[in-house]
Amino acid sequence: MATRLLVLFSREPRRQADEKGLRGRAGEHLFTAFALGWLDAARRVDARLVVAAPRADHAGWRRSLSGEEIALLEQRGSSFGRRLEDAARQAGELGGHAVLVGGDVAPAPEILAKAFDLLEKGADAVLAPAPDGGVSLVALPAADLDLLRGLAPRRFDVFSRLSKSLRARGRLVRVVAPAPDVDGRRQLGRLLRRPLSTPDLKALARDALESKAWSPTVAALPVPSRPHFDPEASRAPPSGS
């Protein structure tokens, strides 16, 4: 079996919480729990966790995941898309199959296992749509990593554009179940209405939502209605995006 890599593309938990308007210890603890949940998910499928973060965040990651065996990559680039592309290329140099997921995505062990299974069965690319039309999990072949360059956060057409671009190149694209992410308090409230991987994670999410130590300058964006995605879709482009 090829080497499996899970790349967590993220700021360190404290800064992640600040950026999402969940400032304070409760928000930091929540995103630390997200990272630990992905670490556990990686171990379940014999994958290695690699964290891609700005160099200034590496010390924070070592503190948050103290005692855990992780590798750190430096995020490099002038835009979100260029940093994501570069992180994927760095991971590709390590060999094997690399799956990238955002640090604001709730741990989803079943989705990760499915992604690796599809890659090893011949899929060229695997995508997990986010409820707002973005992408929460992505695995692309090296020849298509340039498509990541134009991605931007908080855009409702990311999944549609990326999947169509891949299919236009003749790639076999497989889609796994949507993976919810947390861009702010509104998305966190929605996350609490979904099943989470552990009861502890749900309690941490509730604490972060109820915490008073949040930044009013970081507003949650409105979320478009959630489209329907077929987890077993192959080459046909998604509809309605």
> Is 90 exceeded by the pLDDT of residue 235?
no
Reported pTM: 0.85
Top-confidence residue, 220 or 110? 110
Of the candidate CATH numbers 3.90.180.10, 3.40.1710.10, 3.90.550.10, 3.40.50.800, the domain formed by 4-210 belongs to: 3.90.550.10
pLDDT on residue 8: 98
Mean pLDDT of 57-85: 96
Three-state secondary structure readout of the chain: CCCEEEEEECCCHHHHHHHCCCCCHHHHHHHHHHHHHHHHHHHHCCCEEEEEECHHHHHHHHHHCCCCCCEEEECCCCCHHHHHHHHHHHHHCCCCEEEEEECCECCCHHHHHHHHHHHHCCCCEEEEECCCCCEEEEECCHHHHHHHHHCCCCCCCHHHHHHHHHHHCCCCEEECCCCCECCCHHHHHHHCCCCCCCHHHHHHHHHHHHCCCCCCCCCCCCCCCCCCCCCCCCCCCCCCC
> 75 with 136: CB under 8 angstroms?
no
Q: For 128-173, how does the pLDDT look when each residue is reduced to its tens digit (9 = 90+)?
A: 999 889 999 999 999 999 999 999 887 889 999 999 999 999 999 9
53: which residues sit within 8 A by CB, 6+ positions away?
9, 10, 11, 12, 61, 72, 73, 74, 75
CA atoms of 241 and 231, how far apart (whole Å): 16
High-pLDDT (> 70) share of the chain, %: 87
Confidence of residue 196 (pLDDT cuts 50, 70, 90): confident
Q: What are phi and psi of 65, to 5 degrees?
A: -110, 40
CA distances from 78 to 13, 39, 112, 152, 184 (A): 22, 28, 29, 12, 24
Name which of 197, 207, 193 is nearest 30 in CA terms.
Answer: 207
Q: For 205-229, how does the pLDDT look when each residue is reduced to its tens digit (9 = 90+)?
A: 999 999 865 444 433 333 333 333 3
β-pairing verdict for 4-9 and 48-53: parallel
Output the six-digit token pair for 134.
């973005």
Any idea where the domains of the chain sit in the sequence? 4-210
